[in-house]
Structure 1
Amino acid sequence: MKKSFFILIAIFISSVGLAQTESTWGVKAGLNYNSNGDLRTIDEEISADGRTGYHFGVFGKIDLPIIYLRPELVYTSTKSKYDNYNGASFDMQKLDLPVLVGIDIVGPLSVFAGPSFQYIIDEDFSNARVEEIKNDISVGFNIGAAVSLGRIGIDLRYERGFSDNEAKLIHDEINTGSLTLDTRPSQVILSLSLGF
């Protein structure tokens, strides 16, 4: 699975450099409001409270007839809080590789959607130890809209993970039984980009 992820990164880099149609590349950064899934204890499910995170990365844009392709490579840091579980928080850092297909609607406005491949780099749960995550690599979906003003772009999108990706947690100080956490992202992402 990790090999597949790195192959996708290589395809992203080569597609921007070798495209025969009009293409651009650039950098992007912004904020994301994330809420991971439920924390499940032996006798209850505790919903996450969303928190603000950040992201930065690079993108390519390949203009084709009617549509455009926009592969991205983005470092993302997310945080969720579980107030009903002693104020615990879950932090996750990951590499995202969205491959978006977009269409220009009117003037500078466009809409886009596509899959996002995610590779979890690190995770931390404040009140317990993360013993294992089911999958380091998962797939999600992005949908959103963008406004392009020359070289500057602003986009707003929603991202959601497709399948369950649970983390098994161990609390070293007390015996809480089985703890699991749904690590799928559910986030609203606001980005500012600069094309070259």
Structure 2
Amino acid sequence: MKKLMILILLVSSVSVFGQSAQFGIKGGLNFGSTGEFSDLTDNASTTIDGDNKVGFHVGVYSKFKFLGIFVQPEILYTRLNTEYSEGGATADYNFSKIDIPLLVGIDVVGPLNLKAGPSFQLALNNDLEGAGIDIGIQDPENSFTIGYQIGAGLQLGRLGVDLRYEGAFSENNAFSEANEDFGFVVDSRPSQWILSLSYQLKGDGDKK
């Protein structure tokens, strides 16, 4: 949590250098999955790739322009869902986190812009549900990780539309060892497409 507070303060300080500033709200859908499911049971070597499912995100953003570019920090709550299937059995892995993307972008032509940058992630909760039973698992090894986002957007007045890809730099495993005969590991790092709709609440031309 201390790292999260330091990061929020750092992101907030960007506004000091901005020549113009905008603030707004955003939300949308995610489509993707976490990493592999691996069986830890003795004499087992089962590894299952996750099936893409739809999740969601909601939060706030700001946008500061200077020197012909813009910096766009965001704070978002994200819910990511993944389905693992093997031999007729299925299990759903639900992972929630706080995302803090810090993107740098340029306006290309007209309303089109391109942006990319790191995404700082704080894991909140994860659980695996299968066959009607909640299977408790430990929190990911690293509760605070860094990934990346890259994408394009359209700004149409106060409305904005973004399409991005999000990935991770390294594995971040969550474990379960229910007993000596059963155990597994789930790679919680995300690989997903993010479609967002934003609305600008305040900008430079607005009355105070």
Q: Say yes or no: TM over 0.5.
A: yes
What is the CA distance between 1:100 and its match in structure 2? 0.1
Question: 3-state DSSP class of the match of 1:57?
Answer: strand
Match in the other structure for 2:170: 163
Partner residue in 2 for 1:175 = 181
In the TM superposition, 1:53-72 aligns within 5 A as 53-72=55-74
Q: Aligned residue for 1:135?
A: 142
Question: Structure 2 vs 1, CA of residues 20 and 46 (structure 1 numbering), >3 Å: closer, same or farther?
Answer: closer
Q: Distance in 1 between matches of 2:27 and 2:140?
A: 27
Tell me the distance in 2 between the aligned counterparts of 1:20 and 1:76.
27
4+ aligned runs moved over 2 Å, structure 1: 10-16
Q: Which runs of 5+ in 2 are unaligned?
A: 203-208
Counterpart in 1 of 2:48? 46
Matched, 1:95 2:93: no
Change (3 A) 1:19 1:194: farther
Conservation of the 8 A alpha-carbon contact between 1:133 and 1:168: yes
Q: Which residue of 2 aligns with 1:124?
A: 127
SS at match of 1:130: coil
* CA shift for structure 1 position 10: 2.2
How far apart are residue 11 of structure 1 and its match? 2.5
TM-score, normalised with respect to structure 2: 0.87
Matched residues in 2 for 1:46 and 1:57: separation?
32
1:81 maps to which of 80, 83, 87 = 83
**Alignment check: 8 A CA contact 1:132 1:169 kept:** no
Query: What is the RMSD computed on CA atoms of the aligned residues?
Result: 1.6
Unpaired runs of 5+ residues, structure 1, are none
Measured against aligned partners, the alpha-carbon deviations of 1:145-169 in whole angstroms (never above 9, x if no partner) come to: 0000011100000000111101112
User: Cα 1:155–1:140, aligned 2, differ >3 Å: closer, same or farther?
Assistant: same
> TM-score with structure 1 length normalisation?
0.92
Distance in structure 2 (CA, Å) of the matches to 1:20 and 1:126: 46
Over the matched positions of the two proteins, sequence identity in percent amounts to 38
> Cα distance, 1:129 vs. partner?
1.5
Query: Could you tell me whether the CA contact under 8 Å between 2:25 and 2:199 is conserved in 1?
Result: yes
2:194 match: 189
User: What is the alpha-carbon distance in structure 1 between the residues aligned to residue 145 and residue 18 of structure 2?
Assistant: 31
Spell out, residue by residue over 1:106-139, the C-alpha distance to the aligned partner (whole angstroms, 9 max, x if none): 1100100000000011111114221232100111
C-alpha distance in 1 between matches for 2:18 and 2:67:
12
2: CA distance between counterparts of 1:137 and 1:29? 22
